Chain A
Amino acid sequence: MSGWIEICALEDIAPQGSRVVASEQGNIALFRAADDRIFALHDKCPHRGGPLSQGIVHGETVSCPLHGWKLGLKDGEAVAPDQGCAKSFAAKLEGGLVWLKFER
């Protein structure tokens, strides 16, 4: 499975919310920012493996629900002084639909 894949409609994700997508590469957290931009990260915090999809989304950041690490939605990088990175996936909104890109 590779290339752009249609996942769901924009309305299926609450604004400033998230949905979990099951994939071959593990669970992916799909985020919808306040301005309807879409981001996707591996649903696992680099700190203790918390499900990022369950965190609070603010700006371009999500706060992990377990211990409050903040990760950038764009690149999955932890906000300093914490160090770590959740894998990010390319995601886009097109024609009201949300797409995820998988690399082979």
Chain B
Amino acid sequence: MMTKNKMRLVVVGNGMAGIRAVEELLKLAPDLYDITVFGAEPHPNYNRILLSPVLAGEMTIQDIILNPLDWYRDNGITLHLGKRIERIDRARRKVIADDGSEAGYDRLLLATGSTPFIPPIPGNDLPGVIGYRDIRDTDEMIAAASEHRHAVVIGGGLLGLEAANGLRQRGMDVTVVHLMPWLMERQLDKAAADMLKTSLEARGLKFLLEKQTEALIRGESGRVTALRFKDGLEIPADLVVVAAGIRPSMALAESAGLYCNRGIVVSDTMQTYDPRIYAVGECVSHRGIAYGLVAPLFDQARVCANHLAHHGIARYTGSVTSTKLKVTGIDLFSAGDFMGGEGTEEIVLHDPAGNVYKKLVVKNDILVGAVLYGDTADGAWYFQLVKDGQNIHEIRDHLMFGQNHIGDVGHAGQSKAASMPDEAEVCGCNGVCKGDIVKAIKGHGLFTLDDVRKHTKASSSCGSCTGLVEQILASTVGGAYTPSQSKDKAVCGCTEHSHGVVREAIRSQHLIAIPEVMKALEWKTPNGCASCRPALNYYLISTWPGEAKDDPQSRFVNERAHANIQRDGTYSVVPRMWGGLTTPTELRAIADVAEKYHVPTVKMTGGARVDLLGIKKEDLPKIWADLGAVGMVSGHAYGKSIRTVKTCVGAEHCRFGTQRSMDMGVKLEKMLFGMWSPHKVKLAVSGCPRNCAEAGIKDIGIIGVDSGYELYVAGNGGIKTEVAEFLCKVKNDAEVMEYSGAFLQLYREQGYYLERTCHYVARVGLDHVKATVVNDAPGRQALYERLLFALQDYEDPWQQAVQQPAVRREYEVIQIKGATT
């Protein structure tokens, strides 16, 4: 429906970039434009990347449609299929199609894509000679495979090899002809390319490298019949697929007088030289680069939509790209500047027998490129390091062995995504197999890790299979996927802003309530979601203690109810035992409570205290009253907060003990009582280096030695075991308190919500922590004082629920008045 007051947006090009821009625009401003789309092909928008699996017979055209015709109709988009725009009349602001139809525009989006480059060889126009670009080409190749025998693919790049593999799968005799000395020279170095060639030869493909084609020869039927090289060699060819690169389709833009230079030239806002006309996709040249992979095109689409929607804040500044070959069973990954050169260093692992090759290119302590063959599980991680430009000096020793080897491996798992069988379990938490993930990606047209998490739940719990899921995603959709764990990732779908930006705004603008933050930072939802509200609540109370008011409704149930919810909806109660010490009176009170309330399970926790499990919510305040009568308080076993300080018996009893570790532990735990933090925090104090309290895997580990204590930080015994790193040595108990307190306050002030100390320290670097906590005495004391200030006056939340009727009410079930059964 055309309405007079709406602006008119015309999109030329019905492909992945153009339609993605429309989708992003509809999300931001669904009613701003009347939208008209022209597509030269007779199909709705489909996933061009998946043409290779269609060619190989692994998928059908129907499987790869991204936006069915209903989608256009439901969004009120006027769609013209099979119409090629021939002219843009910029003076009258209209476009004219080859059938004479016209459409006027207020804004025009060019997404005309690219066309295969066909080298000027005699015979390149013969029947049987085709490029590889769209559904029609794919259909023609499938048809040829059923009638003909000999196929030649010119071009040993990504697309050429996928075409060759598909034709081979369909039973043709396939030869790949390549001008360069090795395959995929723009994505691979020679070593990896040679391994790839060997694998493909084992599948029956033939290769002729460093060969230049002289002519394509016409057979009696008029169809191509052979191919002749400059050196005189001739090989039979009933089908010639030319995959020698692509050229941006910019003739339309050029004819309209728009500046083009190897693509339609656009600014960082995706505007051409005519500000009413935008352009995205493979037809575009941005800062001199024309991208041919989908991930950058999606970035462009998002920026373009932001400006079309009049938000006007996004800028496209270019993309680092990664490559993944979509040939079933071959794991191959490359990203960034993988060839190296002046000023770069290479770390290489090459095992020809095991069919594994990895090369990492490092420049000035920053990973700038990677090539992986055989084992690509860490591809996404390396790609992220490249994109973030993170300093890798501290992890250099282990870099080659992957993310799992930074620290120790908790969850071993698979590393070869493409060669895994479909029934192999990927996500142990949610029981998701590879086949489920691949099916969801193909069936729902998924491109990002978040999409996969939403649809399959894989990698959405503990996250240890994230690398593998990303690899499955990458091997299914190729270069189209965008890794999501970037440093500047948005907090959640409610905002564009990252955790770092939000924290800084709360500090610099002195924001003290959640609605203020949402207003100042233009939250997209009226009151956030279950992801951002707990984060904001934490940032507020940790940044402005005493000023910001804790919002129980923005806390996860456990922190609201001060108990741990269990799978059946009951709760567990863990009273605090300072330093793991208890008394007969406390134990008696626990035993009495367990009997009185028929507690079904009583268990020792890993943090050296007692867990009472299976308690109904309405019984919680009663149990707390009984425990409080002997002085027991909340153990915060449910919180993103101080959990426990584990201790060994130390010099108090142990014949080897050098320091009084129980004393030290009790003092620390009392100091930290009520400390909320980005994630849970656990400490341990051992009285000697035998370290019976297992201080090496704690957020802060304190080990007594004869001359004082050694402090270790950022250990973790969870999903991935991380060994704590040595921070410094201190002389006495008072220093242990000050240094530990300062480190924790630094983490509280700078950590992102749900970031453990190990992740925080990995992000900012141990050097930063040392500079602030160890080397800067006034800074350390200031941190320590801010911690003590934040923790003063903290009251036991259990006793508040016992004593204050307004709090206790939350635990009570409402009985209907006068109800009869």
Contacts and interface: CB of A to CB of B under 8 A. Distances in A.
Interface of A: 1, 5-8, 12, 14-17, 19-24, 27, 30, 34, 48-51, 54-59, 61, 63, 65-68, 70, 81
Given A56-B533, A56-B554, A6 B569 contact: no
A16 to B, nearest CB: 4
B202 interface: no
B444 A81 contact: yes
The 3 lowest CB-CB distance pairs between A and B, nearest first, are: A63-B530, A56-B530, A54-B557
Contacts of A8: 814
Contacts of B527: 16, 34, 58-59
A95 to B, nearest CB: 16
A4 to B, nearest CB: 12
Interface of B: 444, 454-455, 457, 460, 525-530, 533-534, 552-554, 556-557, 560-561, 565, 567-569, 617, 809-810, 813-817, 819-821
Contacts of B554: 16, 56
Nearest to A14: B553
B569 A22 contact: no
6 contacts: A20-B813, A22-B816, A56-B529, A61-B529, A65-B556, A67-B457
A24 B821 CA distance: 7
Contacts of B569: 49-51, 54
Contacts of A15: 553
Given A7-B814, A56-B553, A65-B557, 17 more contacts: A1-B820, A12-B814, A14-B552, A21-B813, A21-B814, A23-B819, A24-B819, A49-B568, A51-B569, A56-B554, A57-B553, A58-B527, A58-B530, A59-B525, A67-B457, A68-B460, A81-B454
Contacts of A57: 553
Contacts of B444: 81
B530 A21 contact: no
A49 B566 CA distance: 11
Q: Which of B529, B530, B617, B809 has the most CB of A within 10 A?
A: B530
Q: Which of B526, B527, B533, B809 has the most CB of A within 10 A?
A: B527
Contacts of A56: 529-530, 533-534, 553-554, 556-557
Contact of B810 (A14, A22, A58): A14
B533 A21 contact: no
Nearest to A80: B454
Contacts of B457: 67
A34 B526 CA distance: 9
Nearest to B618: A20
B525 A58 contact: yes
A63 B396 CA distance: 41
A67 B817 CA distance: 33
B457 to A, nearest CB: 8
B529 A63 contact: yes
A21 B816 contact: yes
Contacts of B567: 48, 66
Given A49-B569, A65-B556, A81-B454, A58 B816 contact: no
Contacts of B556: 56, 65
Contacts of A59: 525-527, 529
Contact of B561 (A12, A54, A63): A54
Contacts of B455: 81
Nearest to A68: B530
B529 A22 contact: no
B662 to A, nearest CB: 36
Contacts of A58: 525, 527-530, 533
A17 B553 contact: yes
A21 to B, nearest CB: 5
A90 B816 CA distance: 16
Contacts of B560: 54
Q: Which of B534, B569, B617, B819 has the most CB of A within 10 A?
A: B569
B814 A30 contact: yes
Nearest to B451: A81
A20 B560 CA distance: 15
Contact of B565 (A22, A61, A65): A65
A50 to B, nearest CB: 7
B800 to A, nearest CB: 15
A55 B561 CA distance: 11
A14 B527 CA distance: 15
Contacts of A27: 813
B526 A55 contact: no
Contacts of A49: 568-569
Contacts of A48: 567
A81 B456 CA distance: 9
A5 B814 contact: no
Contact of A1 (B454, B528, B552, B819): B819
B809 A12 contact: yes
A92 B821 CA distance: 23
B534 to A, nearest CB: 8
A61 B815 CA distance: 25
A8 B819 CA distance: 14
A7 B455 CA distance: 38
Contacts of A30: 814
Nearest to B455: A81
A1 B816 CA distance: 10
B344 to A, nearest CB: 44
B629 to A, nearest CB: 27
B556 to A, nearest CB: 7
A24 B460 CA distance: 36
A54 B560 CA distance: 9
Nearest to A7: B814
Contacts of A7: 814, 816
A33 B410 CA distance: 42
B473 to A, nearest CB: 16
A24 to B, nearest CB: 6
Contacts of B810: 14, 17, 19
B661 to A, nearest CB: 37
Contacts of A17: 552-553, 810
